[in-house]
Amino acid sequence: MEYAENILGTIGNTPLVKLNKLVEELPCLVLAKYETFNPGNSVKDRMAVKMIEDAEADGRLKPGGTIIEGTSGNTGMGLALAAVVKGYKTICVISDKQSKEKMDILRAVGSKVVVCPTNVDPEDPKSYYSTSKRLAEETPNSWYVNQYDNLSNTAAHYESTGPEIWKQTDGKVTHFLVGVGTGGTISGVGKYLKEQNPNIKVWGIDTYGSVFKKYHETGIFDENEIYPYITEGIGEDIIPKNVNFDVIDGFTKVTDKDAAIYTQKLAKLEGMFLGNSAGAAIKGLLQLKDQFKKDDVVVVLFHDHGSRYVGKMFNDEWMRDRGFIEDKLTSAQDVINNHLDKPLITVKTEELVSHAIERMKAYKISQIPVEDSSGFVGAVDEADLLRKYIENKDISNLPIKEVMHKPFPIVSKNTPIEAISKLFDRDNNAVLVKLSNDEYQIITKYDIISVL
Ligand SMILES: Cc1ncc(COP(=O)(O)O)c(C=O)c1O
């Protein structure tokens, strides 16, 4: 009989899988180290168990203890699985940027989940770094894992992931590429592979909003490089002890948009349903194409599974909201399709300015067409009203006809967006679109900017 003693016995020995369509433009063999075959569906199972075993061995983790960690989800999953098998409790501290699926999954395997804001400094008491440390101080018989600075993280990859890649490629691997977060994967695998063959090149995939690339190239920790980003799992606003810059030959940065689009492409072109950092990794690999020659064997490691991103990179509405999917909008009709359910707000010539202002506030709009029985005869907008208010403080009691400016141009629904954009100038912020004899919609400068 062949079986594992428990689920932890199935960690590691993941397959290498050839990439095909997505890497057609590259001259070399590209192989994916496919880490979703681990029981927690990510590479992090490897280091989670190693960190626990090392802590058990030297007494930092005691029987019945509580494991506390700040985690983007995958390490938490690995820790939680091991905790279930070994009889510990887990508390995972997670940033609110992470997908809801990741939080639900952690709860499913018995972990308590504490959610912290993303956009605060690491030193802020609310940050997920500070919260994890505080919980560890307050919870009796607890152990704070700290995957960033805990070198058992790198050791796990030095002992298992690196040797597997070397053996599976029969020592022919020439390049290793991987997304960098704590740095454990790149540093452990990189060190092992370079010890076998110092000519192997190791590249890190970084993201815009993270400090790694600049720090590696200049030694400068540039705070200006730090800003919020969407890509999950990679990039940092700190330099974790697990990042060993000596084994890294270079970094390439991938945008949030490219990482998201390539996450979808991996599923659609290769049948590889993977997480967001896999999208970043494959796009980073394509960005580095000039580095590769015909006989090279390039290994790219994919960290986690697509199921954790179904509400995000695999949700077209989410992608569209962030401008990651560009719908082909060419005419007035395409633009107003977004607000057809909303009525056109107008004001009559005899109404007072105060009525127009109330309507602007109620509907959160900045301009209103003015009509009388003959049709549209003028328009008011907030900038114009403000200018007139400065001249005359009693403006709110004046009838609209006394303050309105020329009416918005009227276009047909088939008018191209380029033609509409030419109608905007300093005095004109909107156009009206004629849908039928008595039905109109409005397109504002803002609508056109969002489309562009
Ligand atoms: C999805 C995902 N990708 C990439 C990484 C980065 O791996 P490492 O922390 O080993 O640098 C992580 C871990 O933080 C991750 O969860």
Q: Which residue has the higher pLDDT, 186 or 446?
A: 186
C-beta of residue 414 within 8 angstroms of C-beta of residue 394: no
Rg of the chain taking only CA atoms, in angstroms = 28
The CATH architecture annotation of domain 1-325 reads 3-Layer(aba) Sandwich (3.40)
pLDDT for 172 beyond 80: yes
Nearest ligand 1 atom to the CA of 232 is: 1
Mean pLDDT, residues 25-38 taken together? 98
pLDDT for 308 beyond 70: yes
Q: What is the pLDDT of residue 151?
A: 98
CA of 403 to the centre of ligand 1 (A): 60
pLDDT for 443 beyond 90: yes
Ligand 1 pocket mutation pick from 38, 241, 277 by most atoms within 8 angstroms of CB: 277
Domain boundaries, the chain: 1-325, 332-451
Mean pLDDT, residues 291-306 taken together? 97
Q: What is the pLDDT of residue 446?
A: 85
Mean pLDDT, residues 345-355 taken together? 94
Q: What is the average pLDDT score of the chain?
A: 93
Q: What percentage of the chain has pLDDT greater than the value 70?
A: 100
Q: What is the pLDDT of residue 447?
A: 85
**Confidence label for 164 from pLDDT (cuts 50, 70 and 90):** very high
Taking only the tens place, the pLDDT of each residue in 108-124 is 999 999 999 988 887 88
The least confident of 91-95, 157-161, 186-190, 264-268 is: 91-95
pTM equals 0.80
Mean pLDDT, residues 266-292 taken together? 98
Residue 175 CB less than 6 A away from ligand 1? no
Taking only the tens place, the pLDDT of each residue in 22-31 is 999 999 999 9
C-beta of residue 212 within 8 angstroms of C-beta of residue 204: yes
Q: What is the pLDDT of residue 313?
A: 95
Taking only the tens place, the pLDDT of each residue in 217-239 is 999 999 999 999 999 999 999 99
**Confidence label for 325 from pLDDT (cuts 50, 70 and 90):** confident
Q: Are the folds of 1-325 and 332-451 the same?
A: no
Q: What is the pLDDT of residue 72?
A: 66
CA of 2 to the centre of ligand 1 (A): 31
Taking only the tens place, the pLDDT of each residue in 398-416 is 999 999 999 999 999 999 9
Superfamily of domain 332-451: CBS-domain (3.10.580.10)
Q: Which residue has the higher pLDDT, 100 or 338?
A: 100
Q: What is the pLDDT of residue 388?
A: 85
Residue 243 CB less than 6 A away from ligand 1? no
C-beta of residue 301 within 8 angstroms of C-beta of residue 281: yes
Nearest ligand 1 atom to the CA of 278 is: 3
The least confident of 144-158, 288-302, 320-334 is: 320-334
Q: Which long-range contacts (CB under 8 A, 24 or more apart) does 163-167 make?
A: 163/192, 164/12, 164/13, 164/14, 164/33, 165/16, 165/33, 165/189, 165/193, 165/299, 166/192, 166/193, 166/196
Sequence-separated (6 or more) residues with CB below 8 Å from residue 260:
230, 231, 276, 279, 312, 313, 319, 322, 324
pLDDT for 91 beyond 70: yes
CA of 122 to the centre of ligand 1 (A): 18
For residue 12, give Cα distances in angstroms to 87, 287, 364: 22, 29, 55
Residue 277 CB less than 6 A away from ligand 1? yes
Residue 233 CB less than 6 A away from ligand 1? yes
Measured distance CA(55)–CA(51) in Å, rounded: 6
Q: Strand pairing partners for 69? A: 92
The least confident of 48-52, 270-274, 378-382 is: 378-382
Measured distance CA(202)–CA(194) in Å, rounded: 9
Q: What is the pLDDT of residue 253?
A: 98
Q: What is the pLDDT of residue 73?
A: 82
Mean pLDDT, residues 242-256 taken together? 98
The least confident of 139-143, 212-216, 298-302, 395-399 is: 395-399
